[in-house]
Amino acid sequence: MNVFQTAYTASGLPANGPTITRPLVRMMNALSDGTMIFVIFLMSIIMLLISMLCIHFILSLQMERDRKEVGMLKALGIGRKEIRRLYFAKISFVLPLWRVHWAGNGGYPSKAACQASFRSYTERQIKEA
């Protein structure tokens, strides 16, 4: 028994109910920390899923807008694998660099500038293929 517990029992105060001990306080802290970690982890998973859905819909929309271009590439005899590789390169390489370029210039581009950037890159890729 610690000093506080012996002083409490010696004072004759009511002894009904649970005693709050150091291990009990540690356990409650661990439970609250564990709950908070679980909630933060769950929220991060939900945000990750939402962002993946957003990326999926953005890419689907871009592919729908470039449907004529894909048809032209197929008519030229370029296979599905090469077209996929073309779009993967466009998305994975050019867009991050493009964003860094515009962010470094103090702002983000207008819609017309975005479309012009996409079109010029795609035209270069078609000429190289």
Per-residue pLDDT reduced to its tens digit, 6-43 = 887 788 777 777 777 778 888 888 889 889 999 999 99
Question: How does DSSP assign 38-77, residue by residue?
Answer: HHHHHHHHHHHHHHHHHHHHHHHHHHHHTHHHHHHHHHTT
Q: How far apart are CA 14 and CA 86, in angstroms?
A: 78
pLDDT in tens, 70-126: 888 888 888 888 887 787 777 766 666 666 655 555 555 555 666 666 666 666 656
CB 129 within 8 A of CB 86: yes
